[in-house]
Chains A and B, each alone.
Chain A
Amino acid sequence: MDRSWWRNVIIILVVTLGSVWYLVPTYYSFFVLPRSQRNDIKVLGDRLPGWARYPNHRLNLGLDLQGGIHMVLQVDTKTALQKRVERRGVQIANYLKDKGLGPVSIDANREKLQLTLVAKDVATMDGIQKEVKGFDDFSEVSRDGTKVVLSLKDSQVARFKEESVDQAMLVIRRRIDKWGVAEVDVRKLGTDSIQISLPGRQDPEQAKELIGTTAQLEFRMVDEANPYFKQLLSQSPPPPDSGIVLTQSEGFDQLQGPEREPLLAYATKKTPAGREVLLECVASKTKKGACESYRTYLLDRTVPLTGESLSGADASVGQLGEFEVNLSFDTQGGLEFGKLTEDNVGKRMAIVLDENVNSAPRINEKIPNGRARITLGRGGNKSYAELRQDADNLALVLKAGALPAPVTVGEIRQVGASLGDELIRKGSLAAVVGLAMVVVFMAVYYSIAGLIADAALLLNGLLILAGLALFNATLTLPGIAGFVLTLGIAVDANVLINERIREELRNGRSPRAAVDQGYDRAFWTIFDAHVTTLIAGVILLLTGTGPVRGFATSLIIGILASLFTSIVVTRTITTYLVHGRNAQTVSV
């Protein structure tokens, strides 16, 4: 036994134990945790033994196997665009009136996304045409007498559609976050759809309620001067491991903590009368869409103004280079907003979306004309890009509350839990029968070499499962079928080697030489066959979408595992049997 043999033995041991280790979280989530907690990563993390600490890397059951709801929501960008064109029409008319070119009547064509401007006087037409050029999201289609037809540019349509979907995603994420549902997957699908997976849930109506259709936006006053948080902290200190501390980073008292629920539970213990505590998410710098920690705000319970009166919000760069978000209200909302700001100059006004504080800018002066500006400043240690992101996000949030692009359910797949159980039973039975037949056949056909191949095959299966767990893959019924087939195909490598050894034996070589020759000659065949398939897999992974990528991932894992087991594992075992035991015959 030479050194390279010992090296291989160590590699095999490490890989095998590593795979088993990686599958511990999967084992716990399927067999140790009760069914209802199967998808709760947090519970899983608590239950896992100290030596297996990666609850995120585990195999999930697909919705077809465990029951649940899969939804694709379609954002009705059409309606949203129509509303936008109409709104812009009114803005253009007002603008022209301000410039002394009015009155101009505006008619919106909702199907074509066009605006028809009709002026009273032909003489103003040149002026109108010139001013209208300033609205660069529209382009002129035709001009005829007192009539100008404008059309929303295609680039704007695309941009706005994307924005609408982002808006809707943001709102849905927030809603789900608020509900604290574990293991919900929200992702964008194509250009105007959002995909949501709710494993373990059964009632589509409840799910729809959970996600809701429009966001709630409120403007509420912040009670900065109240010593409530300070008193709470000194009178009944929080549990030491909660991480809740008092912070002054915004210039007034706030509590800050790493977890949402404990912080809210603690901070609302003795909420003063007429006040309410809500949280703000401090965005994580490293993980997009996640919260680093949460901060409390003490707000007036009354809601003086809601997002219903808001008619638009846009991010822009101000004259001094600072970022700002411009708000515009409808007439009634503008009056109310004017009064609210007049009464509260110098105070902070919280912008609350779906019961979460988004930001709390200070009111610098009375804002009379239904147009408000939230200045984000040039903000100390934040980079230009970060500030720009902040401004865009805030505008997005405000718009999300203000103009819901209606969301409709484009696809629902709901699988009952009992059906899922049945599919698991049938699927695993089918897999076991298929594998058993392969294992028995190999042992009968190749005797000892067949048993070695079987050992490699089982290790191969273990490696694939561990690899899938590593990528946090989802196991579906077709996935199980694919897994069985992958193992069936993986046997090919061992067949190649064993047939080669038989051939060499027929050619009169000694057992030892035949084994060595067999492995050496078969190596390049196996290598080329695997690499070619691997290339196909990588290309599919890079260019495919959705299920195709999932397929490519398991294909790649399967090929790497097969390459390892057929070349390294079986050779190491065979070498031991033939060389180590100094065998005079070889059983192939």
Chain B
Amino acid sequence: MQILKHKTHIDFIGKRRPAVFISTVLNLAILVGLFTVGFNFGVDFAGGTVVELKFNHSIRADEVRSRAEAAGLNDVSVQGIGAASENSFLLRLGGTTQLTAENAQAVLKALEGMGNTSNFVTDVENGLINFRSTEKLVPETVRKAVAAVGLGVKEVRDLGPAQGGGQDYQIVASGMADRITQGLSRGLAQPDFATQRIDYVGPQVGKELRNKGIAALLYSMVAILLYVAFRFDLKFAPGAVLAMIHDVIMVAGYYLVTRREFNLTSIAALLTVTGYSINDTIVIYDRIREEMAKFRGKPLPDIINIAVNETLSRTILTSGVTALSLVGLLIFGVGEIWDFAMAMLVGIIVGTYSSVYIASPLTIWIDQRAAARDRAAKSGGLSRVN
């Protein structure tokens, strides 16, 4: 069986200018979008609470939402997952602790009412309030006093005697997940759902992860630049790296435009796309290198056209087979896995495209500049000094 029966002679490179133009516009638009609108960061990066609930009876998402709103959870987002018959829902809530700047004030008032308390330190981000009392307090009474003003308390800790007299205490506010499950089961003898999963991520955790990931990606690009320059030619290297950047941006664009959640799996998708992109670019480069040796003196655009045409069936096959392996994930995957497969599909398409229309034009451009400089140098006198 064969897809392409005959040798093709398609002029890929001739259409490079409009292609490069469109790619540049798209990439810039995505970059602007990233800096202005930004990703829809998942709980991995933005912090917050996600609870997956499975109800034991048939219920619709808007019913779950109205129940949550009735319990005072106004900013909760409800999303059904899996088949409707599964009655499973993802509930998202920003923030991880019930402590807010507002209710902290009420809590401080309540604590001040407990006697000789002082040295209040509030840490809203982590849901902590530290304070000092001249007398020993019973943690349970502190908990009751705080709970009375509406803050769920997970724990009241005795931090031990303070230097200079008094006793230090710490109040740990309850997490958001408790608020969700309690709110939804309000008025029921017993909850009609089971908690399948709780994701609860503080705000600082993701930041470091993301920065280190980007740094690692940059380092690997430099290493690739060096290897390609060494194995092929210096003028090939920038093209490979630019194609890789192009592909990463395009896949990031998928998450940006669709507003699908950007999380750790998305990072994995971006990294996989870089691998695929390099692989594809190198295969084309290799053929260009071979043709260059065969047709000495032929202009580079012609050689690239020959190389791309000769590898065309391979390119179609490889992209097709890789896409084929994603079919199962696209059919059976839900949530982030489906997104991963979809992002990879985008990555395969742009990865194939960028080898021809990003990597090659840059190589041609660098080649032509070098040739122009050589000519200028040979014509003497008039040579421009760069």
A83-B159, A499-B317 known; A528+B200 contact, CB < 8 A: no
Q: From B224, B318, B320, name the one whose CB has the most chain A CB atoms within 10 angstroms.
A: B318
A488 contacts B1, CB within 8 Å?
no
B216→A415 contact, CB < 8 A: no
Give the interface residue-count category, chain B.
35 or more
Q: B191 to nearest A CB, angstroms?
A: 14
Known A-B contacts A438-B321, A524-B286; the reply to A548 vs B213 at CB < 8 A is yes
Chain B contacts of A411 at CB under 8 A?
200-202, 205
Q: A-B contact count, CB below 8 Å? A: 277
Collect the chain A residues with CB atoms within 8 Å of residue B333's CB.
426, 430, 481
With A427-B337, A551-B268 as known contacts, state yes or no: A86 contacts B164, CB within 8 Å. yes
Contact of A438 among B215, B221, B325 (CB under 8 A): B325
State which of A6-14, A125-133, A365-373, A530-538 sits at the interface with chain B. Answer: A530-538
How many chain A residues have a CB neighbour from B under 8 Å? 93
CB-CB under 8 A from A83, the residues of chain B are: 159, 162-163, 168
Q: Are A414 and B224 in touch, CB under 8 angstroms?
A: no
- In the complex the two chains form, what is the Cα distance from A430 to B317 in whole Å? 21
Is B198's CB within 8 Å of the partner chain A?
A: yes
* B212 close to A481 (CB less than 8 A): no
| Residue B291 lies at the interface, judged by CB distance under 8 Å to chain A | no
Query: With A79-B170, A488-B326 in contact, is A535–B208 under 8 Å at CB?
Result: no
Q: With A413-B199, A414-B197 known to touch, is A430 a contact of B331 (CB < 8 Å)?
A: yes
Q: When the two chains form the complex, which single residue of A308, A410, A433, A444 contacts B327, counting CB atoms closer than 8 Å? A: A433
Say yes or no: is B98 at the interface (Cβ < 8 Å to chain A). no
State in angstroms the CA–CA spacing of A343 and B367 once bound together: 90
Q: Is A489 an interface residue (CB 8 A)?
A: yes
Nearest chain B CB to A524's CB is how many angstroms away? 7
Q: Does A258 contact B (CB under 8 A)?
A: no
- Report if A540 contacts B (CB, 8 A): yes
| Contact (Cβ within 8 A) A478 B336 | yes
B334 at the interface (CB under 8 A from A): yes
With A544-B212, A546-B209 in contact, is A528–B340 under 8 Å at CB?
Answer: no
B123 CB within 8 Å of chain A: yes
Q: Give the shortest distance, in Å, between A525 (CB) and chain B (any CB).
A: 4
**Complex Cα spacing A330 to B285, Å:** 74
Of chain A, the residue at the smallest CB distance from B264 is: A547
**B78 at the A/B interface (Cβ < 8 Å)?**
no
Instruction: Tell me, rounded to whole Å, the shortest Cβ–Cβ distance linking A102 to chain B.
Output: 15
- Chain B residue at minimal CB-CB distance from A90: B163
Q: Among A434, A496, A524, A525, point to the contact of B328 (Cβ < 8 A).
A: A434
Q: Which residues of A contact B283 (CB under 8 A)?
A: 492, 496, 525, 529
**Contact call A495/B314, Cβ cutoff below 8 A:** yes
Q: Indicate whether A406 reaches chain B with its CB closer than 8 angstroms.
A: yes
Smallest CB gap from A333: residue in B: B161
Please judge, given known A-B contacts A529-B286, A532-B224, whether A485 and B212 are in contact too, CB under 8 Å: no
Q: Would you call B304 an interface residue if the criterion is a C-beta within 8 Å of the partner chain's C-beta atoms? A: no
A45 within 8 A of B: no
Counting CB contacts under 8 A, is B310 at the interface?
yes
Find chain A residues with CB under 8 A from B79 CB: none
A135 within 8 A of B: no
Instruction: Give me 8 A-to-B residue pairs in the complex whose CB atoms sit less than 8 angstroms apart, sorted by A's number.
Output: A79-B170, A213-B157, A427-B337, A528-B285, A532-B278, A532-B282, A536-B223, A545-B208
Residues of B within 8 A of A (CB): 1-2, 52, 96, 119, 121, 123, 126-128, 130, 155, 157, 159-164, 168, 170, 172, 175, 177, 194-202, 204-205, 208-209, 212-213, 215-217, 219-221, 223-224, 227-228, 231-232, 240, 264-265, 267-268, 271-272, 274-276, 278-279, 282-283, 285-287, 290, 310-311, 313-314, 317-318, 320-329, 331-334, 336-337, 340-341, 344
